[in-house]
Chains A and B, each alone.
Chain A
Amino acid sequence: MRIRAGLWAVLAVAVALSGVWAAHRGRVALPVVARAPGHCVLNTAQMRRTHMMLLRTVREDIVRRDARDTRFRLTHCVACHVQRTASGRFIPVNAPGQFCASCHAYVGVRLDCFDCHAAVPHHAGAGQAAGSALVAAFRMPRALRASKGAGPGGGP
């Protein structure tokens, strides 16, 4: 009998705590995603759900099969999505509040790409300043933009 009472007490505490948790749910700030210039290589919904798969696949192709002529490259993600300070210096995309970090903090997924990879582009012309050949070369092809659900198969 005592055990059962104990269990009820634990349950009551758990319910109370979940109420407290629900009240504080807003404490993790929503990610702030700055718009990059031009078009992404895929539409936003697809990028949200599949960017990790794309990067994982493409890293095999680039490293092991010398297939560098792909639109899906981490360096291009960085080149478009990097932000600058007021004085024009690049802010690493994995710095708190930046493009990669803000979403990953929100969903609680540790981001380790930039333990090895550069989190700022090499070209001074990248980022918001780039109207640029890079953006033009790697933006989503027109055919894909029209058909929203299509995979990247129709790419150039």
Chain B
Amino acid sequence: MSDRSQTTGSLDEEGGGQEPDALRRKLLKLAGAAVALTLAPGVTVLARDLVVKGSGGHKTPVRYGLLIDANACKSGCESCVRACQDYNGLSHDPGPDNAQWIRKVTIVNPKTGFSRSFPVMCQHCENAACVDVCPTGASFRRPDGIVLVDKHRCIGCRYCLMACPYKARSFVARNVSDQKPWAPRGKGTAEGCTMCVERVEAGKPPACVAACNRAGHKAMVFGNLHDPKSAIALRLSEVATTTIRADLGLGPSVHYRGI
């Protein structure tokens, strides 16, 4: 029942309420705006900051997370898995090398017969093992806590697949076609749950959460863990929750109730 993210949660609060930093960014932006040097018609030296819009980090500390209620999750229901596959353009077929961004897991206590079924996906850890081991910096954690693979940098070494204790990463071993525009994926790169980052940025919950609500189970809550008024933070303050393998100290953003 321990929850490491509560004790180690201060690490990712940089960028919050630091006024000198904001001023510095503004100055840099102004400086950047001046440095668009035209050498000849059509030949322009572009200052980097010109194209960086909205990259000023987060004014308020944001950390997106999930709360999964294993008591409400229905055994045999796979709507979250299907929704993830549909939204991100993954195969429904459970082939040996098909991607699993989210999977349903059933735990059983053989002594008591107690059993629960719940989804497991990338836990978007604060001290993510995949980020630690990545030799190229392709695995990274965004300021809002979402852990992603930058496939432009991924060399396909699969070290992150080995390092992740949740087996949350997959490897694309074959050529892919018919990708969704918001979920680029291709041969030779590692991939995993993106927390539907594009939906989240548009203010929508991840596809799995929406599907669970549609199915009527309401077993998944998504929100900003750092906002004390958010639904997820309120729920976490009310009920006893845990994280999977909390003993590893990775500080997952995905919390579970009833396991």
Contact = CB atoms under 8 A, between A and B. Distances in A.
Q: Do A and B come from one complex?
A: yes
Interface of A: 43, 45-46, 48-50, 53-54, 57-61, 63-70, 72, 75, 78, 115-118, 121-122, 148-153, 155
A119 B46 CA distance: 27
A86 to B, nearest CB: 22
Contacts of A58: 51
Q: Give the interface size class of chain B.
A: 35 or more
B53 to A, nearest CB: 5
Contacts of B33: 153
Contacts of A46: 42, 44
Q: Could you say which of B33, B37, B55, B185 has the most chain A C-beta atoms within 10 Å of its C-beta? A: B55
A75 to B, nearest CB: 5
Given A63-B150, A152-B36, A54 B51 contact: yes
A143 B42 CA distance: 16
Given A68-B198, A72-B51, 16 more contacts: A45-B42, A46-B42, A57-B51, A61-B55, A66-B54, A66-B55, A68-B201, A70-B51, A115-B187, A116-B186, A118-B178, A148-B41, A149-B42, A151-B50, A153-B36, A153-B50
Interface of B: 32-33, 36-38, 41-48, 50-55, 140, 142-144, 148, 150-152, 175-176, 178-182, 184-187, 189, 197-198, 201
B41 A152 contact: no
B89 to A, nearest CB: 8
Contacts of A60: 152
A103 B214 CA distance: 46
Contact of B53 (A63, A69, A75, A122): A69
B131 to A, nearest CB: 12
B42 A48 contact: yes
Contact of B38 (A66, A70, A150, A155): A150
Contacts of B151: 116
A153 B41 CA distance: 16
Contact of B179 (A43, A57, A61, A117): A117
Contacts of A117: 179, 181, 184
Contacts of A57: 46, 48, 51-52
